[in-house]
Amino acid sequence: RKILTIGSQKLRQYSKPLTQKEINSAETRQIVRDMAATLREKKGAAISAPQIGVLKQIILVDIPKMDYHFDKWTHSVIYNPRIEILMSDEIDHVWEECHSVPGLIGLVPRHHTCALFWTDERAQERRAILTGIHAAIVQHEMDHLMGKLYVDRMKDLKFLHYLEEWKEHGVHEKLACLGGDVRFPR
């Protein structure tokens, strides 16, 4: 499916939670297959249903070597997620990209540690503690479910760059002295 980009009103709307019946439906399984195909095509780490125009609380994460286990799956489907911020004063500054904000990269403050609560593909309630880049990725995707984009979280737009120029001119090296934990995309 086509990924919606900044300017689409659907990206600014809240997503609805799914019932257990909806989680087990053929329609939801097709949405997840579409999300997986789109994520593979874009070579991304995660995607949320609103990015493909579906206002449902679904996140698909496909990150190797996560610091927690989703039953050793190669990817994880997260339904109806919620997060609880742990150690709220510990902030990472993360360089984020987004398929819905193509060609740009921005420095975003994210909580270093959070607890994620969700329903899995088998409609089982799950919980995991996430840290660092993994916590940032889930917070980024949760924002999509709430109608937000990473640019809404940025504290200073002078740290919003065109991705190619950021790579070409070594902006990331010059900004690494900001302090805190600065992460770079792969």
Just list the catalytic residues: 141
Q: How far is CA 130 from CA 25, 75, 85, 112, 150, in A?
A: 29, 16, 10, 8, 19
104 pairs with which residues across the strands? 162
Q: Which of 154, 153, 155, 146 is nearest to 82 (CA)?
A: 146
State the virtual CA torsion across 23, 25, 26, 29 in degrees, nearest 10.
0
Tell me how far apart the alpha carbons of residues 134 and 130 are, in angstroms, rounded to a whole number: 6
Look up residue 70 and give its two tokens.
């989703």
